[in-house]
Chain A
Amino acid sequence: MDWNFIIFSLVKLAIIVGVVQGLVAYSVLAERKISAWIQDRVGPNRCAPPFAKYIPILGPLLTRWGMFQPLADGLKFMFKEDFTPAGVKKIYFFLAPAVAVIPAMLTVAVIPFGSVMGSQKMVLADLNVGILYTFGIVSMGVYGIVLAGYAANSKYPFFGGIRSSAQMISYEISMGMSVIPVLLIVGNLNLSKIISWQADNGWLVMYAPIAFIIFMVSSFAETNRTPFDLPEAETELVGGYHTEYSSMKFALFFLAEYSNMVSSSAMMVTLFFGGWTLPFWGLDHPATSLAMGLAHIGVFMLKMLFFMVVFIWVRWMFPRFRYDQLMDLGWRTFLPLALVNILITALWLWMRS
């Protein structure tokens, strides 16, 4: 075992987890702020420690933009009563949040979030079956929700769990199908290879736009975000699968949802938008200097944040789908579309060769 590898992996792991958690926390704030703006409101604007306003220049920004709101939210979750309702299936009830959050965190492992820094590749695990791994892990996310719905021993969570399992299984198929054209074009399952192919040949979104659309819509469904947030549909199911949860257990579901958002955004960036590359300023090949390595990470983050905002924006833009419409869209529109897309891509590739 290479000690160097272990140490650097651990450091990368710590950084990735830290960054993802931070992103999650602030995406909650972003969610609240953006929703507020869209709805003619101000949003969180008060939460700040007393000393914050004396900081020059940054002070007003920190206090007026609710920059400390995620901290307060976190504290609140910590200190709320962790209530376990009578009649729940205790083991599953405690297991469910963990099962939900672990896959969400694991997905990020294979995503190359930068080129190289020194001699280190900016990816935790540069698997040659990266996509396969991702899909494998993502499909496990459903267990957390189904388990939560089942363990709560209550009607609404149960409905939420049922809806969720049906929805996620349905959309996983079209999601998987939508990526096949990408694989056909690139001819490799390794995500780093896919990025370098894009650096050479241009972003894949231009080669497979239909695949991108299907992938994006399916990832909305996979992350249980509006307009496909039927498992938690507040107005119908009082919160769905996490109705009976409180305190940190509830927070873990929240964390899972936003982590999924992060990893979905990262996947979209990686698969269709060239990952850490930019076609100009020489940012399209692996970094030779530390600054360039940082710039790559920055590029990746920016692209990802854009998709995060899209995720959030969409939530406040569209009403929720009806359940039958959701299934109809998944099975009768996206699945055939994805299959046709595979066929056309294959034909096109065959004709070119």
Chain B
Amino acid sequence: MAITVDRKPLTLWEKLYLPAIFGGIKVTTRHAWNTLFRGKVVTMEYPEQKWTVPEHYRGAPYLVKDQEGNTKCVSCQLCEFVCPPKAIRITPPGESGQKADRTNAEKMPAEFEINMLRCIYCGMCQEVCPEEAIFLQKDYSITGTNRADMIYNKEKLLSLGGEVGGIQKWKHKLEEAKAQENFPVKL
């Protein structure tokens, strides 16, 4: 059933539209005055001025290195699996591929591509990463002149990602293993 909303009938004064007109003139004049002569502009002149990105902003995902400059990604491909728009594409190293930066981590991706045109910045890759190797960083202005430009490869992602430290689990494990070097039989 339709609900009839009671409207307050307008008074004669209001029916002349004059209060509304004067109100309108007042408001618009005030704003125009403030903008023109007091510089109260709410917009930002974008490429010259940039906004401060909030702390937990989810921008473009980049690969990071650890505090010793090693690639953290071990090519587990969980991010590729979880990525809803299938923006991530990892080429595993294979048996004979390039060895990982960290001796103990055994592998790192031969190629790691993120198609920034497909990426939806959901942050699932960061959430799923068991190695804390991928982070959504604060870049929001991702541009390129063609489609190929927008597919970021491993080198580009690593150089944009910078360094993010961490617990260095593989290094820790290696040290533990070295401490147990009196292992009874060498295989």
Which residues of A line the B interface, CB within 8 A? 34, 36-42, 45, 313, 316-318
Contacts and interface: CB of A to CB of B under 8 A. Distances in A.
Interface string B11-41: 0000000001100110110011011100011
A40 B28 contact: no
A37 B31 contact: yes
B38 to A, nearest CB: 11
B32 A37 contact: yes
Interface residues of B, number: 16
Contact of A41 (B21, B27, B35): B35
Contact of A38 (B31, B40, B42, B43): B31
Interface string B56-91: 000000000000000000000000000000000000
B119 to A, nearest CB: 30
Interface string B91-130: 0000000000000000000000000000000000000000
Nearest to A39: B31
Contacts of B55: none
A318 B36 contact: no
B176 interface: no
Given A38-B32, A40-B42, A318-B21, 7 more contacts: A37-B32, A37-B36, A40-B41, A316-B28, A317-B24, A317-B28, A318-B20
A316 B27 CA distance: 10
Nearest to B24: A317
A37 B37 CA distance: 10
A36 B35 CA distance: 9
The secondary structure that dominates the B interface is: helix
A67 B118 CA distance: 39
A40 B42 CA distance: 6
Contacts of B40: 40
Nearest to A36: B35
Contacts of A37: 31-32, 35-36
B28 A42 contact: no
A339 to B, nearest CB: 19
B96 to A, nearest CB: 54
* The 4 A-B residue pairs with the shortest CB-CB distance in the complex, in nearest-first order: A317-B24, A37-B32, A37-B35, A40-B42
A41 B43 contact: yes
Contacts of A40: 31, 34-35, 40-43
A39 B41 CA distance: 9
Most chain A CB within 10 A, of B34, B43, B45, is at B43
A26 B111 CA distance: 55
Most chain A CB within 10 A, of B21, B34, B41, B45, is at B41
A39 B25 CA distance: 13
Contacts of B41: 40-42
Given A317-B24, A317-B25, A318-B24, A42 B45 contact: yes
Nearest to B16: A333
Nearest to B27: A317
Contacts of B28: 38, 313, 316-317
Contacts of A42: 35, 41, 43, 45
A313 B32 CA distance: 10
Contacts of B42: 40-41
Contacts of A34: 32
A37 B32 CA distance: 5
A29 to B, nearest CB: 15
A183 B36 CA distance: 42
Contacts of A318: 20-21, 24
Contacts of A39: 31
Nearest to B25: A317
Contacts of A313: 28
A37 B40 CA distance: 10
Contacts of B24: 317-318
A324 B20 CA distance: 19
Contacts of B25: 317
Nearest to B20: A318
A311 B36 CA distance: 19
Most chain B CB within 10 A, of A40, A313, A316, is at A40
Contacts of B35: 36-38, 40-42
10 contacts: A38-B35, A39-B31, A40-B34, A40-B41, A41-B35, A42-B41, A42-B43, A45-B45, A316-B28, A317-B28
Nearest to A318: B24
Nearest to B32: A37
Contacts of B27: 317
Most chain A CB within 10 A, of B34, B36, B40, is at B36
A307 to B, nearest CB: 15
